[in-house]
Structures are given as C-alpha cells and as structure tokens.
Chains A and B, each alone.
Chain A
Amino acid sequence: MQTKIVLDEEQIPKKWYNVQADLPAPLDPPLHPQTHKPIGPADLSAIFPMELIRQEVTTDRYVDIPEDVRDVLRLWRPSPLYRAHRLEKFLKTPAKIYYKWEGVSPAGSHKTNTSVPQAYYNMKAGIERLATETGAGQWGSALAFATMLYDLKCTIYMVRSSYTQKPYRKSMMQVWGAECIPSPSNRTNAGRAMLEKDPETPGSLGIAISEAVEDAAGHSNTNYSLGSVLNHVCLHQSVIGLECREQLAMVDDYPDVVIGCVGGGSNFAGISFPFAGDKLTGKHKNTDLIGVEPASCPSLTKGLYTYDLADEAGYTPLLKMFTLGHDFVPPAMHAGGLRYHGDSPIVSRLVHDGVMRAVAYHQSEVFLAAQTFARTEGIIVAPETSHAVKGAIDEALVCRKSGEEKTILFNCSGHGNFDMSAYDAFYAGQLVDYEYPDELIKQALGRIPKIT
C-alpha cells in the first residue's frame, strides 16, 4: 500500500508550463488605470524586470527554468504526493484521494516556487531591493527567504490584521533579513490616505499592494514582487501540477477531480493548469477542476467578470477578472491569504469559460475539515489550505453516495504551524461564519470602473 509517491531530484521540471498557449482565444489585455488603453512592457518596466514582463505576456507553451533556480528548488522539490489512505478509510469513500504536500518548503508553503525565480530575475536585472505585500505572511516569508538567497533587500507590507494575528510569520521574515511593516503604513501616500480615512482599518491585500507598488515605483533600485494573481506567478507554480502528473503516472493514475484553494489563484493555478491544458487540448476532456474560496470573499462564485483594479489605490493595471470590487475590504477571517477582492485573470477566464468551476465555504466548516485531515493524515494545514481539504472531502463524500471510484487530487499548499491561534478560536467556538451578502449587493459593483 504505497502512501508516498516521490520523484528523483533530476525529475524537477526543466520547463514551466504556460496554459496561455492552449487557451482558445488570447486573454483580454491588462489596461492602463488612467488611459484604459492596453499597457505595454514599458508601462511595467518601472516595477518588474524585463524577463518577468516577457513571461507575463508570452504565449509559448513552455518556458525554461534556469538551472540556478532549479538548484534552489532542490531544497524542497520535487515535493511528495501522498495517497490519503487514512482519510479515505475514515470517509468510507470508494474515491482515491491524493494530496500534493507543498508544506515541505523552507517557508512552509507553495509560495517559494515563485519567490525564488522572481528574486533571481530581479537580481539578474541589477535590482537591489524588492517591495511586496503579504496577507497571511506566507508570501512575505517566502520572498524574504528568496531575496536572502540572492543578497537583495526586501520590504514587506503586511496586512495589519495578519501582522497582529500571526507574529511568527513576521519573525520568519526577520530571520531571513527582511523588513516587515504593518499596512496601511505611514511610509506611502496610499497608506497615509487610508489611515486618514480609517485609522482603525484592519487593512487588506488591495491596500498593501498599493503601498508596495508605490514604494517600488518611487525608488529606481527597487522593484515590486507579487505572490499571486499575475500570469508569470501562475507559470512558476505550474511545477506543482507538472510533478503531480508524473507522480500519478508512476501509480498509473490520472485525476478525475483537481482541487485547490483560491485567493489570488496561484496555488490552484499551480496544481490545475497542466490538467487544464490536457482538458483544453482534448487529452482528458472531463477533468473537474475546482477552486475553493471563502464564503466571506467569494470572488469566483459571487463576483462579476469584468475589468477592475488589482489594488485599492489604483496604481496597478486594470485586469479582466472575477472581482468583488477593488474597494471591498474582506472581513479579517483566519485564512488571510484568501482575502483578495479579485482573482488571477487566467483562472478567471477558465472559470468564466466553464473549463474550471468554483465553490465557497464558511470558516467553521473548513476548520472542521482541517481537523478531520489532521486526525487522519496527521498534517495540520494552514487555514487557507483547509478550504481545499474541505473541497476534497466533499467530493469524496459525493463518491461515497454515488459509489464512483473517482481519483481526487488536491493541493495541500501549506502547513498551519503558525496558525494555532485560529485553531484555538475554532475550539473555543469563536469562529464567525462571515459571508458576502450578494443578494443585496448588485448595485455595489457599479463602482467598478466601466470599461467597454
């Protein structure tokens, strides 16, 4: 009874997979926030190195992974794929459940898959400092680790509610030599404006992105780095799905269902895009690709598919995506990494076109699922990851009812070792089931800039 399916280090993918190559029609271009005209490379060069800009727009099916980057990835990749025998037994399901364990990276999540190449390309371009935002702290700690490897300075604007709730993530950033600031801060115009409007704001990813972009745009030695949403981030994360496909082939299997949690969409993109490619090219037409999001911030299930700003202050390009409106500040639930008003444009397009679908869950039900997972498989997952766990359990329970022996694969994107206060709140009965009052809200989205 094989539990762990592992690849050799040499089997770390040599190329990233770019699902843009297999989209039936090109993505709608990002637009300039002021002119509303498509942006060009020059518009992005103030904050991104040229190689990442190239990766953002390329429609090449594969992009080479530099050997220097692969050497760093060897620290934790290939990550193991597990067969969840104990969970299957507990659920009495005929389904086979596999999970890809990304918590083995130094920062404890999938985020290092993109922080390392991003830091690498910036170093190559002669950049001295990176500015970024972080929600739950997973991206911030991943970029702190990566910048340390390449001797770059790193400034991290951390959403204030998480900064207070997750002090250990902040400590990790410090260990790796980065500076971590609660956002909104007094460092930037965007932060000061927000504090003036609302001194007690819990902050949001949208506000923190504005601060980091402003910081990068205002310093010639500094670039901006984003941990999700953008195409090049999804590209880097494709190593997850590419490895999974190889690992499943080793046990002669292929998933019927692929699941990941969705905030900005990068970990879901990472595990699902190679399978979405198989679906789009007709190799495996029936794979069910499911993004799981929180009911309190349900952009894919309740949002509008339209152009919206990626940040709060309006510094970033307008992206065509599912959005709840860039001025929406999601409630400060425990899955801080999923508190984003929009979604990856590629994930959004695939959901819009019916290639993927999305479901949303309340906070307390995902923690219950996380507890089930911890008590069967042993791993205590991050609150964000618990959404994917819940999605996988529900699919397995559907199989129990129908008797189908489906193969379910989900991305176990990170550990919850620094989230124990969230588990404490769950056991104390203090978790609030926030949700988005979408029935009342239709007019609210009228605030989104109108692009025709």
Chain B
Amino acid sequence: MRRIGFLINPVAGMGGPVGLKGTDGNVDEARKRGAVPHAQERAERTLQGLKNQPDLFFITCSGEMGEDTLRECGIRRYRVVYWCGKSSTAEDTKRAVSAFLQEKIDIILFCGGDGTARDVFSVAGRLVPILGIPAGVKMYSAVFAVDAAVAAVLVSGSYGIRDAEVMDVDEEAYRNGILDTHLYGIARIPARANMTQVAKQVFEEPDEERAKDEISRFIQEVMIPDSLYILGAGTTTEAIARRLGIQKTLLGVDVIYNGSLVASDADEKTLLNLADRYPETRIIVSPIGAQGFILGRGNQQISAAVVRKAGLHNLIVVATPHKLRETPSLYIDSGDPALDREFRESIPVISGYRIAQRKKIYRSS
C-alpha cells in the first residue's frame, strides 16, 4: 500500500488570470478582481487517474485543502490528519506537511505553484519525494509534473527518484516586472523512467546518482592544474566537489583551486576578485529550474561580468541525462544581452564519462 500525503493550495493560481503574477499574500485582492479558484479542478484531474488504484492510501487535510476533492472524486481510502481554518495560508501548508511526516508517507502530492512548492519543501526537505500538480501562476521550480494527468501516472506507477530544484521567486519584485529567482532547495521527485521506457530505449545511466558519478569522474579527469574552478549550485556540481574530497555548499557557488576549496558560497564580488588573481578561470554550471537556465536563475553570483572574465569558452555545462530529458532546451538570461548573444545556437552538455549531448540554447532577450 503506497501512502500519499495529499494537499491542495486552494488559492494557488488565482492571481494569474487577474494580472497579479502570483497569489502569495494577495488572495483578497485576487478575489476582488474576480479571480476564481481552479486548483481543485486541476487536482481532480489527477485524482480521477488515481481513484481506481486500490493500493493507494491518502493522508490529507480537511475541507478544500484535500478532503473535499477526494470525496468528490469518489475516493474513500483516506484519512485526515490536519484540520485547517476557513481560509488556508502558507502556514497551513507547512503544518499539514509536518502532520504528513508523522504518518510514514511515501510521497507528497501537492497542488499549487512555486509558492506552495517552497512551503512543502521547507518542511519535507529531502526526507520524502514530492510532486506538484501544476496550478500556480509561476512554475519555475522543477518539481511539477508536466500536467495533472501525468502526475497521476507518476505517483501510481513504479518510479525512480531524481533531484529537482525548488525556486524561490520574489513575487513583489515579479509584480514590478523584475524576475528575481533564487535556488531555494533541491527536492527529490519521482523520476519519469517508466514513462520514457514506452519507446523501449534504455540509453544512459539509469540511476541519477551513478550518472553524477560518471560526470564527476570525467570532470576530474580533465581538470587542469593551476586553474580556478567556479562551481555553480546543484547536486551535480556538488558531486564533482565530493569526488575531489571537497564539501561544497549545495545551493551556493564555491571555488576550487588545485583540489582545495578557496571560497565557499561566494558572491559575485568574491568571484571577480578571485578571477583577477588567477591566470585561468573555468566555470562549471548545471541547468537550474524547470526551464533549464544555465545562467541567470539560481546562480546569479556567476554574473555576466564573471563569465566574461573567465571567457565563454571556459564555461562547462554539466547535467545528468535525466535532467536533460526533462529540459529539452537550455536557457540563458545573464542580464547582459550582448553576452547572451555571444552563445552559439547549441552547446555540448557533459552528461556522462566522455559523453556530451548537444542542446539548443534559448536566450531570454
């Protein structure tokens, strides 16, 4: 019996259609502008795909945060472990996840957007896999299924686990036309291995951890002595550092020189200063977020100035085959359109030991 922690952020996505670019702290304004909730409807689509699965049991919240929709779909195999008030808030999401964790759940299925993902992850961390049914205004995080129906297939079938970034978008800045994203954390989500197996092509390393090992083995082999290495955020770059015997910050940008850590969680200024002091600088980054940004999201410390200092030819992009399957194209938004334009139409992305995949690049400007 698989135990699914299930919650809905009932107000998720309400801000979008009425031009609010996010609903966090703005529910009343959204309602005033005529917004209607649609998260339940999205969640229903997923539950329709799960209702005839006898081996699933739902741990959920009361009312519109879960129970109502389960009942409407005719699902009786559930238990309410968190009771929310009349109107739910971010705090309700966090407390509900906390209650789920007491119940030995296998996975958390939530319906919402980036804000909900952040709230779920802030409590669940990497303890259990999570999966989002997309219903938010913004979906920069990589923890969402492609659509509500796919979410049902993912949580009910057999799945592997892969890493996915949770992005923290500043909604206030976003409403003012500024996209300020940060890498909030790296969650574990069910991998789509079984869904892609339909074509019966077993191509690369089936296990993401082993794929990271292969990438790390290659990068270690081609590292040049007396060069500064700037490692961007993420678990793939973290695996490279681990192979070198260095403990790297998961979400920060760290700097390595001749096998030693010279800066941890470095900001742009530190990176520029270091790049000035050493003759050659190489940058290793991994695509971040659902869209697969290699610059400009989640690792803004590696600014256009830092990239220019190192030279575009010294930018090495690494990503597991799993990540690349989910992100068919890569994006750049360095903040310097001239630099963005200097990128060719495609780049090689190191995806294994002496293996690269050629991927198309899109510029945001």
In the complex, A127 Cα to B208 Cα: how many Å? 46
Closest B residue, CB atoms, query A334? B201
Please judge, given known A-B contacts A433-B358, A437-B355, A443-B222, whether A200 and B200 are in contact too, CB under 8 Å. no
State how many angstroms separate the Cβ of A371 from the closest Cβ of chain B. 17
B207 near A200 with CB under 8 A, answer yes
Q: Which residues of A (62-89) have their CB < 8 Å from a CB of B? A: none
Closest A residue, CB atoms, query B349? A437
Q: Which of B196, B200, B224, B358 has the most CB of A within 10 A?
A: B358
Please judge, given known A-B contacts A421-B199, A432-B357, A435-B358, whether A440 and B207 are in contact too, CB under 8 Å. no
Task: Please indicate the chain B residues that have their CB under 8 angstroms from the CB of A434 in the complex.
Answer: 351, 355-358
Cβ of A451 within 8 Å of any chain B Cβ, yes or no, is no
Task: Please indicate the chain B residues that have their CB under 8 angstroms from the CB of A444 in the complex.
Answer: 218, 221-222, 354
In the complex, A421 Cα to B352 Cα: how many Å? 24
In the complex, A9 Cα to B356 Cα: how many Å? 47
State how many angstroms separate the Cβ of A363 from the closest Cβ of chain B. 10
In the complex, A436 Cα to B354 Cα: how many Å? 6
Please encode chain B, from 198 to 215, with 1 for each CB lying within 8 Å of some chain A CB and 0 for all others: 011111111100100000
Q: How many residues of A contact B (CB 8 A)?
A: 31
B204 near A332 with CB under 8 A, answer yes
Cβ of B316 within 8 Å of any chain A Cβ, yes or no, is yes
Closest A residue, CB atoms, query B223? A443
A331 near B355 with CB under 8 A, answer yes
Please encode chain A, from 326 to 337, with 1 for each CB lying within 8 Å of some chain B CB and 0 for all others: 001111100000
Closest A residue, CB atoms, query B206? A200
Cβ of A237 within 8 Å of any chain B Cβ, yes or no, is no
Cβ of B311 within 8 Å of any chain A Cβ, yes or no, is no
In the complex, A51 Cα to B68 Cα: how many Å? 82
In the complex, A141 Cα to B207 Cα: how many Å? 32
B357 near A165 with CB under 8 A, answer no
State how many angstroms separate the Cβ of A200 from the closest Cβ of chain B. 6
In the complex, A272 Cα to B71 Cα: how many Å? 72
Cβ of B350 within 8 Å of any chain A Cβ, yes or no, is yes
State how many angstroms separate the Cβ of B313 from the closest Cβ of chain A. 8
Please judge, given known A-B contacts A200-B207, A200-B210, whether A161 and B202 are in contact too, CB under 8 Å. yes
Q: Which one, A146-154, A171-179, A312-320, A422-430, is touching chain B? A: A422-430
Cβ of B17 within 8 Å of any chain A Cβ, yes or no, is no
Q: Which of B328, B348, B353 has the most CB of A within 10 A?
A: B348
Q: Which of A332, A430, A432, A441 has the most CB of B within 10 A?
A: A432
Cβ of A357 within 8 Å of any chain B Cβ, yes or no, is no
A440 near B222 with CB under 8 A, answer yes
Q: Which residues of B (141-186) have their CB < 8 Å from a CB of A? A: none
A200 near B205 with CB under 8 A, answer yes
A435 near B348 with CB under 8 A, answer yes
Please judge, given known A-B contacts A440-B222, A443-B221, whether A165 and B202 are in contact too, CB under 8 Å. yes
A437 near B358 with CB under 8 A, answer no
Closest A residue, CB atoms, query B210? A200
B205 near A324 with CB under 8 A, answer no
Please judge, given known A-B contacts A200-B207, A437-B348, A443-B222, whether A165 and B355 are in contact too, CB under 8 Å. no
State how many angstroms separate the Cβ of A92 from the closest Cβ of chain B. 26
In the complex, A425 Cα to B199 Cα: how many Å? 7
10 contacts between A and B (CB under 8 A): A161-B202, A164-B200, A165-B202, A202-B204, A295-B358, A429-B328, A432-B321, A434-B356, A441-B222, A444-B222
Chain B positions within 8 Å of A, measured between CB atoms, are: 196, 199-207, 210, 218, 221-222, 224, 316, 321, 324, 328, 348, 350-358
Q: Closest 5 A-B residue pairs measured CB to CB? A: A440-B222, A433-B358, A437-B356, A331-B355, A435-B356
